[in-house]
Amino acid sequence: MVISLLSTILRHQSSSSDSDNRLARSLLSTTRMSRLNAYLAGKRVGSSSNVGLVVETLNLLTALVAWDSKVVLETVRWDIDALHRILRYSRNRKDGKGKGKGKMKSHQSSDSRARIALMSLITAMLSQDVPARVKSAFLGAGTQTLILLQNILSGIGDSHEEEDYLYSYAQIKLLLETLYAGVWCDKRIPRTVKVAVFAFGHGHNENGKRGQVGGEKVWKGLLALYTRTELESSQSSLAEEDNDEEGIPADLVHHFLLALCTRPGQGVCFRDKGWYPSNYSDNTSYGEEHDDLDLDVKSRFNSNLPSFADEDTRSNSNKFPIHNPLLLRVLRLLTPSADPRQQELAARILEACPELVAACGDVISGGPGALDPRLNARWMVGMTWYGRVVGLAVPEEMLYLPTVGSTSGGITGRTPRVTPPPLRNVVESIVPSFSGGGTKTILSKALSSGGGAENTDAPAQESSSLGLVQHTAALTLCRCLGKFLQVRTTLLRAARAAGESEEHVELDDGTSTVGPWTRRLTEVTKEVRARMPDVQVVLAFLKHVEAAGSPSSSSTTSKPNPTAHALLSESAYRLVWLVSCLLRLCYHLGHR
């Protein structure tokens, strides 16, 4: 009762101009803080009396943060097991096994009060009014305070039972807004400290031992909020801030992750070099956002970086280092084919970091067998997502040496780099490989037979199902070939800027050669042709479409839907035209 009264008095006095408050100075003394630590350490948090004491003590410490956050950080025993037990108890009681219904609700209520009080203290320590040095120390690697924050983030999507969530919409909003405004928008906090909160790898448990507490569990906890897609209102006001707040938690975490992961040079998104690997360098500076990242943090990120074999050389020894291995791990946790919000997040990440397109073929194709042609919603959504990745913009500005010559920071020089980007990175942005291989085979199967139809008893149903699969496959191939023409124009522009010619240059020894940019364009054209279905398959598809709309065919079978046939015909003719453009280019390459 006394502690609750003290916290109420301090909250009302914190807005006054008197910065020298005797009550606050007395409570922040070593003796008083030792007693508050003793209150936090209670014998058993499961006891209702001890829970009330812990809650009031946490509320008092939250009020004291406004007076001297540094003293609170340095004097509170953050390693007290009771603080970690608050979060652990909440998770262990999710199923409510072995407890009566009334007793379980009583425990959930006491757990909720302690959990909210602890979260209020942590958000107070990370608010905008707290000095940057204090927040940097609070988020220091391996500290108990960072462990507490990561534990809260990893459990932010948990629930006692269905639709009985541990954290309400208002509490989630308070935590995410504090992290963004108080931490990420504070330029005085080193970026190394900020990124370490979400870094993958081994975290530490409450005993200081290595364990999977941070990193992946933090991201999984945040991504769990994507399942809460209904409008939610705050429950009974266990905290003063938890009133008249309603919204969709999925939208809340979605905008938070968009701000965190899709802005190059901000958040956990580092500015890359487009299609160039991170180990590519020339005599040009590439920005300052990487300079503040400590070498030990960089090595920890790169230790989780997988290697990818180059299909052209058929070698497993080639590695493609990237700037954003953390975002690559995040992409592998997303399910873009199942959730439109996660699809938007994945697309925005790939748009901001073009280097990742060649590194996450399993994410783009949805895993082995996901894009095998069949008429169902999963396949349709998967092909739509595949086409969305293909439709990303070409990072043309990264092909040139940046010369900052204006106040807006734009590139005024148009001098191409010495070497073109790797062949694999360029081709993967045009026709991404399917997980498990067989890109050409799967696309040919979808275009020719449609992969069969599920639950089709009548010929009309079978024809309609086949046409829909073929139409989707044709549109995807058209998008790939359209992207190829864009890339070709971009590479030609760079080759001309480098003074190259598409014609062979005869050398003294009788051989001929072309410039590196023209040579890369030739390689890209041949590789794209190798991944496309054979021309016989495309012509057979066109012949089938024309035959389906002919009068003789309509007299023997059911009359096709005119709208469906018009759409299928349009996609077929467009595909044939684009394939003819590709074949004509390949023909010229073979006769130069």
Mean pLDDT of 180-196: 93
Q: Is the pLDDT of residue 337 over 70?
A: yes
Please determine, for residue 511, whether its predicted confidence score (pLDDT) is greater than 90: no
Instruction: Please tell me the distance from the alpha carbon of residue 458 to that of residue 453, in angstroms, as a whole number.
Output: 11
Residue with more model confidence, 501 or 65: 65
Least Cα distance to 368 among 434, 428, 309, 308 occurs for 434
pLDDT, tens digit, 9 for 90 and up, residues 206-238: 455 554 446 788 999 999 999 999 988 765 444
Q: What does the longest C-alpha to C-alpha distance in the chain come to?
A: 98
Least confident of 112-121, 137-146, 287-296, 342-351: 287-296
Triad 311, 317, 319: Cα angle to 5°:
80
Least confident of 166-180, 386-400, 495-509: 495-509
pLDDT of residue 7: 59
Is the whole-model pTM more than 0.85? no
For 217-282, strand residue ranges (E) read: 232-233, 246-247
462 confidence band (pLDDT: 50, 70, 90): low
Please report, rounded to a whole number, the percentage of residues in the chain having pLDDT higher than 70: 70
Name the β-bridge partners of 204.
210
SS3 of 483-515: the string is HHHHHHHHHHHHHHHCCCCCCCEECCCCCEECC
Instruction: Return d(Cα 390, Cα 386) in angstroms, integer.
Output: 6
Mean pLDDT of 459-468: 64
Domain ranges, ordered by start, for the chain: 2-261, 295-504+513-590
2 or 172, higher pLDDT: 172
Cα angle at 253 between 385 and 362, to 5 degrees? 30
> How would you classify residue 303: left for phi > 0, otherwise alpha for psi between -120 and 50, otherwise beta?
alpha
Mean pLDDT to the nearest integer, 288-312: 38
Helices (H), 340-406: 340-352, 361-365, 377-390
Q: Which range among 76-90, 147-161, 332-346, 557-571 has the greatest average pLDDT?
A: 332-346
The radius of gyration computed from the CA coordinates of the chain, to the nearest angstrom, equals 30
Q: Which of 145, 118, 149, 119 is nearest to 45 (CA)?
A: 118
Q: How far apart are CA 272 and CA 259, in angstroms?
A: 17
Q: For position 128, what pLDDT does the model report?
A: 92
Q: Name every residue whose Cβ is closer than 8 Å to that of residue 83 and which is 6 or more positions away in sequence.
A: 40, 118, 148
pLDDT at 310 over 50: no
Q: Taking the CB of residue 557, how many other CB atoms lie within 10 A of it?
A: 12
What's residue 33's pLDDT? Answer: 83
User: What is the pLDDT, as a whole number, of residue 192?
Assistant: 92
- Average pLDDT of the segment spanning 575-581: 94
Read off the pLDDT band of 201 (50, 70, 90). low
363 versus 23: the higher-pLDDT residue is 363
- Per-residue pLDDT averaged across 177-183, rounded? 94
> pLDDT-based confidence at 288, cuts 50/70/90?
very low
Calculate the alpha carbon distances from 532 to 101, 324, 374, 477 in Å: 61, 30, 19, 8
pLDDT of residue 52: 82
Backbone dihedral region for residue 98 (phi beyond 0: left; psi -120 to 50: alpha; all else: beta): left
592 pLDDT exceeds 70? no
Task: Measure the CA–CA gap between 559 and 138, rounded to whole angstroms.
Answer: 71
Please state the rounded mean pLDDT for residues 559-573.
84
**In contact, 430 and 524? CB cutoff 8 Å:** yes
Least confident of 11-20, 285-294, 327-336: 285-294
Maximum average pLDDT range among 360-369, 401-410, 468-477, 502-511? 468-477
* Sequence-ordered alpha helix ranges (H) in 305-458: 325-333, 340-352, 361-365, 377-390, 423-430, 439-448
Residue tagged 């992961």 (tokens): 261
Give the per-residue pLDDT at 560. Answer: 67
Q: What is the pLDDT of residues 229-282, one digit of tens each?
A: 998 876 544 444 445 678 999 999 999 999 999 999 989 999 988 999 888 776
Region label for 361, one of left (φ > 0), alpha (ψ between -120 and 50) or beta (otherwise): alpha
Ramachandran category for residue 312: left, alpha or beta (phi over 0 → left; psi -120 to 50 → alpha): alpha
pLDDT at position 36 over 70:
yes
Q: Does residue 76 surpass a pLDDT of 70?
A: yes
Q: SS3 for 1? A: coil
Q: pLDDT-based confidence at 166, cuts 50/70/90? A: confident
Q: Where are the alpha helices (DSSP H) in 498-561?
A: 516-531, 535-548, 551-556
Percent of the chain topping pLDDT 90:
38
